[in-house]
Amino acid sequence: MFNTVAVVGATGAVGRIILQLLQERKFPAKNFRFFASARSAGQKVEFNGSSITVEELTHDCFKGIDLLIASTPDETAAEFLPSAVKAGCKVIDESGFFRMMPDVALVVPEINPEAALNAKGIIASPNCSTTQMVLALKPLHDAAKVRRVIVSTYQATSGAGLQGTADLIDGSRAHLDGKDFQYQVFKYPIAFNAIPQIGSFKDDGYTSEELKMVYETRKILGDESIQICATCIRIPVSNCHSETINVETERPVSVEEARRLFAATPGITVIDDPANSQYPMPSTCDGSDDVFIGRIRKDMSNPNAITFWCVSDNLRKGAATNAVQIAELLAKNLK
pLDDT tens across 70-128, in order?
A: 999 999 999 999 999 999 999 999 999 999 999 999 999 999 999 999 998 999 999 99
335: pLDDT strictly greater than 90:
no
Q: Does residue 30 sit in the same domain as residue 116?
A: yes
Q: Does residue 98 sit in the same domain as residue 136?
A: no
- Res. 240 pLDDT band, cuts 50 70 90: very high
Which range of residues forms the domain containing residue 223?
130-313
pTM for the full model?
A: 0.95
Q: Does residue 197 sit in the same domain as residue 236?
A: yes
- Res. 290 pLDDT band, cuts 50 70 90: very high
The whole-number pLDDT of residue 23 equals 97
Q: Does residue 8 sit in the same domain as residue 90?
A: yes
Rounded Cα distance between 68 and 85, Å, is 9
What percent of the chain has pLDDT above 90?
97
Q: Does residue 59 sit in the same domain as residue 161?
A: no
Q: Does residue 198 sit in the same domain as residue 93?
A: no
The whole-number pLDDT of residue 192 equals 97
Q: Does residue 91 sit in the same domain as residue 159?
A: no
Q: Does residue 106 sit in the same domain as residue 176?
A: no
What's the rounded mean pLDDT across residues 272-285?
98
The whole-number pLDDT of residue 195 equals 98
* Pairing label, strands 2-8, 50-53: unpaired
Q: Does residue 255 sit in the same domain as residue 235?
A: yes
Average pLDDT for the chain: 97
> Among 187, 141, 196, 153, which Cα is nearest to 167's?
187
Q: Does residue 55 sit in the same domain as residue 10?
A: yes
Please tell me the total count of domains within the chain. 2
- Res. 293 pLDDT band, cuts 50 70 90: very high
Active site residues: 128, 241
Cβ-Cβ contacts under 8 Å for 18 (sequence gap 6 or more): 7, 10, 69, 71, 320, 323, 324
Q: Does residue 117 sit in the same domain as residue 25?
A: yes
- Residue 245 pairs with which residues in a beta bridge? 151, 308
User: In the Cβ-directed half-sphere of 175, how many Cα atoms lie within 13 Å?
Assistant: 14
Cβ-Cβ contacts under 8 Å for 197 (sequence gap 6 or more): 187, 207, 232, 234
Q: Does residue 150 sit in the same domain as residue 268?
A: yes
Look at residue 313 and give its three-state secondary structure: coil
The whole-number pLDDT of residue 7 equals 98
Residue 166 is part of a domain; what is its CATH number?
3.30.360.10
The whole-number pLDDT of residue 279 equals 98
The whole-number pLDDT of residue 298 equals 98
